[in-house]
């Protein structure tokens, strides 16, 4: 590549003004992203409703990528440009910082007198004692002092110069870790009934979303819901809402158990498990006249309106029978409360339909049975309510980028502390003239908040004046 073109590209991407332009554009697009409904953030029915009520807007916004703005071509490209820009700027900042750290920059009076904080002190002492006494005074003021001939360079907080480049490195690191994490990410909802164990594999998730590089790398360990607590209280007796005791099973062995509740997730081999919606699962069994089970299973019923009543519709195997149920929890099923309130039992309101015709409408208590006539075969079967358990969905996430992102964020906060609170300060001195007519050119500057450094600088100059008997 032509050297000039290479230089121009480097200058373009190293431009800090470009950074400002890109950040401003990202801010503008982010605002648009909060104004236009985002498909990924809304429930499908809510998003579809918006689409049907605003068909023209939805069409235009969809075409230009504004309905999925934060993963759109334009937004991702802006972010990529900002990453490249940050990379170039960081390289420039780092090389400048290391140059300054490694090579002391002594300055002569021409530079010193041009500084905002500069003074000239005249003394009758000889130059060697002026230099040695000034060096000692600056050292006592907490400066690291270096001397070259009649020039002195005093520095304080010199490593503070690394704060800003480190901050930019952290931003790059966080972005790379987040991208790495999202490409290999897996998230899904797994529904477990108390006592049930499911393997961690694709088919056992009710909903699953896998990153491009996840490649079906499921760990296939067993996940078991040992117990569910609708109103869990932790060891400090603090109410924690719903909680589920999960166990991880590998090679037939229980290798980990933990109670998962809000803000308390379980982690295992890079997977995290969080509690999600829950409900009741009554066991309905349809038995043949000889008592053998013809069909039936635990039916997962959900509390759709937060009323404490759990509803479900279901089909009974290949019988052609359909049903709807509503089960009401009158007592917790698990935990200590169950024993003290054992007299309370769940009640189920059940309706059975045969080819759309209602053939049963009644109430069942635990272990109640009803007769259901099979019109085709001409005999009765028994439908029984034999058990009830809780079920819960668990949100399972594998994101290997999370910990590196956290590490990057921690380091970024540290780098900001360095950048904003450890301010490099420098004082340059040149001692000129012979014995009896020595001139001390002194100037100082802080890298940031320069006017706030004036007080410290003036104090040092006053001390130097007193030290050398100058006016």
Partner 1 sequence: MAQTEWIMYVAAAALYALSSAIYLYCLVFKKEERINLAVGSALIGLLFHSVSIALRWIETGHGPYISMYEVLSKYAWFSVVIFLLVQQKYEKIKMAGFIVLPASFLMMAIGSTYSRDIQMIPASLQSYWLIAHVGFASLGFGSVMVAAATAVLYILKERHLNTGVPDSFYDRLPGLRTLDDLMYRFVAMGFFALTIMIAAGAIWANQTWGRYWGWDPIETWSLISWFTYGICLHLRMNAGWTGKRIAWLIILSIFILAFSAFGVGYVYSGRHTDYLTS
Residues at the interface with partner 1 (CB under 8 A): 16-17, 19-20, 23-24, 26-27, 30-31, 33-34, 38, 40-41, 70, 178, 187, 238-241, 261-265, 272, 274, 395, 397, 399, 402, 405-406, 409-410, 412-413, 416-417, 420, 448-452
CB of 46 to partner 1, least distance (A): 9
Beta carbon of residue 123, minimum distance to partner 1 (angstroms, whole number): 30
Shortest Cβ 103–partner 1 spacing (Å): 23
Nearer to partner 1 by Cβ, of 251 and 451: the residue is 451
Percent helix, percent strand, percent coil in the chain, to nearest 5:
35, 35, 25
The CA angle 20-26-28, to the nearest 5 degrees, is 105
* CB-nearer residue toward partner 1: 159 or 406: 406
How far is residue 391 CA from its own chain's centroid?
Answer: 28
SS3 249: strand
Q: Please tell me the number of Cα atoms within 13 Å of 393 on its side-chain side.
A: 15
Nearest approach in angstroms of CB 137 to partner 1 is 26
Give the nearest distance from C-beta 432 to partner 1 in angstroms: 29
Q: How far is the CB of 240 from partner 1 (least distance, A)?
A: 5
Q: For residues 360 and 414, which CB has a smaller minimum distance to partner 1 in the complex?
A: 414
Strands of 83-179, DSSP E? 117-123, 144-148, 151-156
Tell me how far, at minimum, the Cβ of 250 lies from partner 1, in Å.
22
- List the Cα angle 95/98/104 in 5-degree steps: 125
Rounded to a whole number of angstroms, the minimum distance from the CB of residue 437 to partner 1 is: 34
List Cβ neighbours of 102 (8 Å cut-off, separation of 6 or more): none
- Please give the Cα distance from 404 to 205 (Å, whole number): 27
Tell me the closest approach of the beta carbon of residue 343 to partner 1, in angstroms. Answer: 29
CB 293 within 8 A of CB 401: no
CB of 427 to partner 1, least distance (A): 19
Q: How far apart are the first and last CA of the chain?
A: 62
- Which is nearer to partner 1, 28 or 377 (by Cβ)? 28
Residue whose CB is less far from partner 1, 238 or 251: 238
Number of helical H runs and strand E runs in the chain? 11, 21
Task: State phi, psi for 234 to the nearest 5 degrees.
Answer: -75, -175
Q: Identify which of residues 185 and 468 has a Cβ nearer to partner 1 in the complex.
A: 185
The residue among 386 and 420 lying less far from partner 1, judged by its C-beta, is 420
> For partner 1, which is the closer residue by CB, 49 or 108?
49
- Smallest separation, CB 425 to partner 1 (Å): 14
Cβ–Cβ under 8 Å, residues 87 and 172: yes
Name the residue nearer to partner 1 (CB basis): 448 or 465: 448
Is the CB of 211 or the CB of 384 nearer to partner 1? 211
d(CA 156, CA 145): 9
- Write the DSSP string, 36-87: SPPTTTS-HHHHHHHHHHSHHHHHHHHHTTGGGGGGSHHHHHHHHHHHHHHH
Using DSSP's 3-state secondary structure scheme, residue 139 falls into helix
- Residue 416 CB, shortest distance to partner 1, in Å, is 5
Query: Phi and psi at residue 95, in whole multiples of 5°?
Result: -65, -40
Q: Which is nearer to partner 1, 204 or 345 (CB)?
A: 204
Rounded Cα distance between 341 and 247, Å, is 28
Nearest by Cα to 223 from 244, 201, 202, 197:
197
Q: Compare residues 68 and 309 and give the one whose CB is closer to partner 1.
A: 68
Q: What is the DSSP string of 340-394?
A: HTTT---EEEEEEEETTEEEEEEEEETT-EEEEEETTTTEEEEEEEEEEEEEEEE
> Coil, strand, or helix at residue 205?
coil
């Amino acid at each position: 590549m032509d050297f000039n073109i290479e230089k121009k590209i480097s200058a373009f991407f190293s431009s800090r003004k470009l950074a400002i332009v890109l950040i401003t554009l990202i801010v503008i697009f982010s605002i648009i992203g909060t104004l236009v409904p985002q498909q990924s953030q809304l429930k499908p029915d809510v998003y579809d409703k918006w689409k049907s009520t605003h068909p023209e807007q939805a069409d235009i916004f969809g075409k230009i990528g504004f309905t999925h703005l934060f993963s759109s071509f334009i937004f991702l490209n802006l972010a990529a440009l900002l990453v490249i820009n940050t990379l170039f700027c960081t390289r420039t900042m780092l090389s400048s910082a290391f140059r300054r750290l490694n090579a002391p920059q002594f300055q002569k009076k021409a530079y010193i007198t041009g500084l905002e904080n500069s003074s000239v002190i005249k003394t009758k002492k000889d130059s060697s004692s002026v230099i040695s006494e000034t060096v000692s005074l600056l050292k006592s003021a907490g400066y690291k002092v270096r001397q070259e001939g009649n020039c002195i360079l005093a520095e304080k907080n010199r490593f503070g110069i690394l704060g800003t480049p480190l901050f930019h490195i952290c931003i790059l690191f966080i972005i790379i870790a987040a991208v790495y994490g999202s490409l290999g990410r897996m998230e899904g909802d797994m529904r477990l009934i108390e006592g049930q164990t499911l393997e961690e594999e694709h088919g056992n998730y009710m909903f699953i979303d896998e990153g491009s590089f996840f490649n079906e790398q499921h760990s296939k360990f067993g996940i078991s819901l040992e117990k569910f607590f609708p109103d869990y209280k932790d060891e400090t007796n603090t109410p924690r809402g719903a909680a589920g005791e999960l166990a991880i099973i590998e090679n037939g062995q229980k290798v980990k158990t933990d109670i998962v509740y809000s803000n308390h997730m379980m982690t295992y081999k890079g997977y995290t498990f969080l509690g999600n919606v829950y409900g009741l699962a009554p066991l309905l069994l349809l038995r043949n006249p000889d008592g053998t089970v013809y069909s039936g299973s635990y039916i997962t019923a959900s509390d759709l309106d937060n009323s404490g009543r759990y509803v479900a519709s279901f089909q009974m195997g290949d019988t052609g029978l359909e049903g709807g149920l509503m089960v009401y929890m009158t007592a917790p099923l698990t935990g200590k409360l169950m024993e003290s309130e054992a007299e309370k039992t769940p009640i189920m309101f059940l309706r059975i339909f045969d080819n759309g015709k209602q053939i049963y409408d009644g109430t069942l208590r635990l272990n109640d049975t009803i007769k259901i006539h099979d019109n085709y075969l001409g005999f009765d079967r028994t439908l029984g309510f034999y058990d009830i358990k809780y079920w819960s969905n668990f949100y399972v996430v594998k994101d290997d980028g999370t910990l590196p992102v956290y590490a990057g964020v921690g380091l970024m906060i540290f780098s900001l502390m360095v950048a904003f609170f450890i301010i490099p300060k420098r004082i340059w001195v040149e001692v000129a003239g012979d014995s009896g007519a020595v001139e001390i050119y002194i100037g100082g500057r802080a890298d940031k908040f320069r006017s706030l450094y004036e007080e410290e600088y003036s104090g040092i100059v006053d001390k130097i004046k007193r030290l050398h008997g100058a006016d």
